[in-house]
Structure 1
Amino acid sequence: MPITISEISLPERADDPVWVARGDLVRAYNHELIGTAEWDVDDESSLSLAKSNTTDRVRRILAFDGDTVIGFANLYVNERDSPDMGNVLVFVDEGFRGRGVGTALLARLDDFAAEAGLKRLTSWVMAPIAGDEPVAVPTTGIGRAPANFSGIRFSLNNGFAMEQIERVSRYDFAAPLVAPEEALAEAEAAAGDQYELIAWEGVADDDIIGGLVVLKERMDTDPPSGGMDVIESTWDVARLREIEDRFLPRNRIWRTVVRHRHSGEIVALSELFRDRINPDALVDQWDTIVLPEHRGHRLGMLVKAANLLQVRDADPGAKAVVTWNAEENRFMLGVNEALGFRPILIEAAMQKRLVAG
């Protein structure tokens, strides 16, 4: 039976058969990476998040073998911050690989990119940690990826350059390398009285959120980006409130910040998110940042350890945290390693420049 490629629109209801079939494939993609349901998102939640996304223009396509969905692909264009760049994800059911399905899906995304006049495409490809096997090395020369893993091989064969490797690490609350209370106490002693630690769940107070705007903008430029083009986002209070409104109905959000007592400036941040619906959900680490002018006072450890304690005490169902860090970001990797984070995957940052024509 011939393979067909079709674009889909968001359905009215989450029980739409095509949407459910797509969701099953997305969950299969996650299971293939981590072997558990800890990254699963239910169809109702994924549809709600998709409908509330006002930042990205999204094209979604599916590959069918008859009536069976065997692959999906997405093109996301952030119209607010990088309207000339698209992010792509392509996945094909394991039983249908090697038949040109992924190539056909990517070709359709390339057509969409050409229609939109995009200048480059990016893709973030997660893969197992490379062992004793052929490896691919990013343009930074730091880190490595398994060259024969399907997603890595597919990206490189289709014109993408590997610009950076991120380490994906997991922290299990039941097996910390050091008690987070001890890590917090040591970091507080190093920070001294000039800094104030603030922790909370849910929405940010009005006297804090302005400082979060500054830290969010610095997240675009401060962490290492390897060979990836740096995109500077524009943040304001309204945008942060929009994120809270979008995610809080179906996610718990914990944040810790450090305020410099003399200036009142918010100088460090750690954010943790957890799906409310999936009882097995991992806690996802979002941003962690310390302003450069306040580094050297253990503030990274301070906000990380405090937030781990906050989640552990507030959510007994939370078993583990997953975080992403560039392999050249030795400072944050050192903080994570000291707390007990261990590597479980890598994520390759891929980029392809497009020729206008």
Structure 2
Amino acid sequence: MASEVRIEQLFIPNSIDAPDAADFLAAVEVGRKVRMQTWGSDDLAYAPLEKLLELDDPYERQVILVAKIDGEIVGTVDIALPLTDNLDLAEFTLDILPEYQGQGVGRQLLEAAEGFARDEGRTMILIDTNHPGASLHEFASEQLVPGSGQGFVPLGSREVDFARRTGYTLQHIEQFSSCALPLDTKLVAELEAEAEETNNGRYRLHHWTDRCPERWLEAVAVLENQAGGDALPALGSEDDGMVFDARILREAEEVTIAQGRRTVVTAVEHIATGTLVGLTTISVLAQRQDVVFQDDTVVLQEHRGNKLGLLIKVANMERLTEQFPDARVIYTWNAPENRYLLTVNRQLGFTTAGVTGIWQKELPDRRPSKS
């Protein structure tokens, strides 16, 4: 049996080189080891400086609790508290070192995080569980389907059992996919020709990196709001997502740039009306440019069916390779019900790496009385 577990809030240093940064570095390393265990690589793990930069976010407060045994950090829970919308929400990322899993450390950390969230006035908690592709086949006969009715997580997995035993309900599945870069030149030419044939010269592409040109700011805000609206039902939210306008977009760009991240964007204009009708975004991390992430792809409803999603994604992945030649893999998450984008991704060469289950729990508004 493990020694006594101590839960405490992680001190965030001013720099990763500071004398008081040891615990912070140890906590980040716990996250890296857990991702190695889950995915077989550390592609999805934070570098210490990346994590430190991310913590300085005006839209979200992050607090990290750690579990220590004999002075060593063996588990962490990252608590993210949105500051501009979803003010009843807290999102937890729980990581326990493989050798300490199954010993009650996770439950103690989770209970401490729930208590912290409740004290902050947060009553809706989201956590996730991650399941590599191999585990989906291993447990294929035992499936837990979410409230959305799309996709599944393996019922026999330790993470699923833990989430259920701690009172969480599976709400939604995100399919997690990866694609090797650069794209094959012949494939690119074929896909570009297919998209161009369908849209028949009615559209024009525009590209930018990091900052949106002034002329397109309002149009991009409309598209980002459309992307947010498409995503909201997946989390069971109402219409309380962040609403973008030109000012908020500029602020968000500055936050991203301050965190050292780069953003590669391709948008598509409907020539007849001069309006932007779609865009797609890829994010490049400050500390690690070999692993990149596909963000929003959105096409306005009335322009769907013209293979614009395919057109802008191919073009953006080509631009990414030109600007960031070290990029070797791109990752993306999609709702299983988004069949159009999943089809486009398959055409581009994305393969399923696994699934992420999004779990939800409502906390009582206040702690029960002790009387």
Equivalent positions of 1:229-268 (< 5 A) are: 229-230=237-238, 231-248=240-257, 250-268=260-278
1:4 aligns with 2:6: yes
Kindly report structure 1 stretches of 4+ aligned residues shifted beyond 6 Å: none
Cα distance between partner residues in 2 of 1:319 and 1:64: 36
Preserved contact between residue 293 and residue 332 of structure 2 (Cα < 8 Å): yes
Number of aligned positions between the proteins: 355
Preserved contact between residue 6 and residue 67 of structure 2 (Cα < 8 Å): yes
Cα deviation for residue 97 of structure 1 reads 1.1
Matched to 2:14, the amino acid is E
Matched to 1:47, the amino acid is L
Equivalent residue number for residue 301 of structure 2: 292
Cα distance between partner residues in 2 of 1:29 and 1:5: 19
1:61 and 1:223, CA in 2 relative to 1: closer, same or farther beyond 3 A?
closer
Equivalent positions of 1:163-178 (< 5 A) are: 163-173=171-181, 176=184
Cα distance between partner residues in 2 of 1:274 and 1:227: 25
Cα distance between partner residues in 1 of 2:227 and 2:193: 26
Equivalent residue number for residue 275 of structure 1: 285
Equivalent residue number for residue 91 of structure 2: 87
> What do the CA deviations read for 1:80-106 (whole angstroms, capped 9, x no partner)?
011111111111111111111111111
Equivalent residue number for residue 324 of structure 2: 315
Preserved contact between residue 199 and residue 307 of structure 2 (Cα < 8 Å): yes
1:5 and 1:36, CA in 2 relative to 1: closer, same or farther beyond 3 A?
same
Equivalent residue number for residue 38 of structure 1: 43
Equivalent residue number for residue 138 of structure 1: 146
Deviates more, 1:27-36 or 1:96-105: 27-36
Cα distance between partner residues in 2 of 1:84 and 1:224: 15
1:20 to 15, 25, 38: 25
Equivalent residue number for residue 208 of structure 1: 216
> What do the CA deviations read for 1:253-277 (whole angstroms, capped 9, x no partner)?
2110011223332211110112242
Cα deviation for residue 246 of structure 1 reads 2.6
1:177 and 1:223, CA in 2 relative to 1: closer, same or farther beyond 3 A?
farther
Cα deviation for residue 176 of structure 1 reads 5.0
1:74 to 78, 90, 100: 78
Cα distance between partner residues in 2 of 1:6 and 1:200: 43
Cα distance between partner residues in 2 of 1:5 and 1:275: 31
Preserved contact between residue 178 and residue 340 of structure 1 (Cα < 8 Å): no
Cα distance between partner residues in 2 of 1:61 and 1:175: 41
Preserved contact between residue 175 and residue 333 of structure 2 (Cα < 8 Å): yes
Cα distance between partner residues in 2 of 1:174 and 1:59: 37
Equivalent residue number for residue 193 of structure 1: 201
Matched to 2:125, the amino acid is L
Cα distance between partner residues in 2 of 1:175 and 1:285: 14
TM-score, reference length from structure 2: 0.90
Equivalent positions of 1:178-189 (< 5 A) are: 179-189=187-197
Cα distance between partner residues in 2 of 1:27 and 1:326: 25
Matched to 1:45, the amino acid is E
1:332 and 1:187, CA in 2 relative to 1: closer, same or farther beyond 3 A?
same
Cα distance between partner residues in 2 of 1:224 and 1:326: 11
Deviates more, 1:61-70 or 1:269-278: 269-278
**Aligned residues with identical type, % of pairs:** 25
Equivalent residue number for residue 120 of structure 1: 124
Q: Say which SS state the counterpart of residue 61 (structure 2) adopts.
A: strand
Equivalent positions of 1:333-348 (< 5 A) are: 333-348=342-357
Cα distance between partner residues in 1 of 2:111 and 2:286: 36
Matched to 2:137, the amino acid is G
Preserved contact between residue 221 and residue 245 of structure 2 (Cα < 8 Å): yes
Preserved contact between residue 183 and residue 318 of structure 2 (Cα < 8 Å): no
1:174 and 1:259, CA in 2 relative to 1: closer, same or farther beyond 3 A?
closer
Cα deviation for residue 175 of structure 1 reads 6.4
Alignment RMSD (CA, Å):
2.0
Cα distance between partner residues in 2 of 1:346 and 1:309: 26
TM-score, reference length from structure 1: 0.93
Equivalent residue number for residue 369 of structure 2: none
1:161 aligns with 2:165: no
Structure 1: unaligned runs, 5 residues or longer: none
Matched to 2:276, the amino acid is I
Cα deviation for residue 206 of structure 1 reads 0.7
2:64 to 49, 60, 65: 60
Equivalent residue number for residue 160 of structure 2: 152
Deviates more, 1:125-134 or 1:285-294: 125-134
Deviates more, 1:334-343 or 1:237-246: 237-246
Preserved contact between residue 176 and residue 332 of structure 2 (Cα < 8 Å): yes
Matched to 2:143, the amino acid is V
Cα distance between partner residues in 1 of 2:264 and 2:41: 24
Matched to 2:288, the amino acid is N
1:117 and 1:41, CA in 2 relative to 1: closer, same or farther beyond 3 A?
closer
1:330 aligns with 2:336: no
Q: Say which SS state the counterpart of residue 141 (structure 1) adopts.
A: coil
Cα deviation for residue 223 of structure 1 reads 4.1
Cα distance between partner residues in 2 of 1:70 and 1:242: 37
Matched to 1:36, the amino acid is S
Cα distance between partner residues in 1 of 2:26 and 2:43: 19
Cα distance between partner residues in 1 of 2:158 and 2:60: 27
Cα distance between partner residues in 1 of 2:205 and 2:80: 36
